[in-house]
Amino acid sequence: MGFLGNAQQFLSGTKKDSKSKPPWLLSIRSSTTLIVLTVNLAIFTDIFYYALIIPVIPFSLTVQVGIEEDQVQRWTSILLACYSVALFAGSPLAGLYADHSSSRRWPLLIGLIALAASTFLLCFGNSIGLLVLGRLLQGFSAAIVWSVGCALLVDTMDTAAGVAMGYIGISMSVGLLIAPVIGGAVYSAAGYYAVYYIAFGVVAIDILLRLFMIEKKVATICP
């Protein structure tokens, strides 16, 4: 099996055919602990990234985009609302897609594309249109994470779904607690781009775990 075949097997978490070997580290990648950790990190990343850049948005509007100071509050509100609109509209669509998909892992990986694009646009965007698009993509990514991620936890934990929701509550609370403080402190100490370096780092870890994880129902057909 060549490089492309190995890459496809790693990303899908399935065997190429009945004679091929199971995916690398299958037992670890499909363990309850790793799946719960991956989903909770995805939730944490969403909330952390959402709150991290809130202290930076006014400076981004004035310095990066050139918005007049008397328009900063208006555009700050619009950018925050864009996230909520995309989350509201995208959540039922993400849930429907996940329920009709053979794997909940693939929707989570699609959300990664939206999250990576959002991070890039919000960091380097130099127009209000790019910032709006970045927040919309961030909301769409959050819709996938919350809808598909919670469904995956229920699939994994089964009767202990309440415990899983408790973990999600912890992840969300920690993200909301520390992100604004870190965002403001880092911006004050190291500048605009340093804040997004933190965001890129957290997103990178999230990407690695989502790629590494394999659903339990997929692992059962890869003995």
Would you kindly state where each structural domain of the chain is located, as residue ranges? Answer: 42-219
Q: Which of 113, 163, 123, 169 is nearest to 146 (CA)?
A: 169
Please tell me the distance from the alpha carbon of residue 167 to that of residue 193, in angstroms, as a whole number: 31
Between the alpha carbon of residue 146 and those of residues 21, 29, 178, 189, 220, the distances in Å are 33, 21, 20, 33, 25
pLDDT at 138 over 90: yes
Per-residue pLDDT tens digits for 77-94: 999 899 999 999 999 998
Which position has the token pair 């055919």?
Answer: 17
Range 137-142 average pLDDT: 93
11's tokens: 């990303």
Which of the four pLDDT bands, split at 50, 70 and 90, describes residue 165? Answer: confident
Q: Which of 112, 106, 131, 114 is nearest to 218 (CA)?
A: 106
Please tell me the distance from the alpha carbon of residue 219 to that of residue 23, in angstroms, as a whole number: 9
pLDDT at 12 over 60: no
Measured distance between the N- and C-terminal CA atoms of the chain, rounded to whole angstroms: 19
Q: Which of 208, 196, 104 is nearest to 146 (CA)?
A: 104
pLDDT at 167 over 80: yes
DSSP H helices, 101-191, are 105-124, 128-157, 161-190
Q: Is 146 helix (H, G, I), strand (E, B) or coil?
A: helix
114's tokens: 């939206």
CATH class for domain 42-219? mainly alpha
Whole-number pLDDT of residue 155:
81
Whole-number pLDDT of residue 3:
54
pLDDT at 38 over 70: yes
pLDDT at 106 over 70: yes
148's tokens: 């598909």
Least confident of 10-14, 77-81, 91-95, 203-207: 10-14
Q: Which amino acid is at 118?
A: S
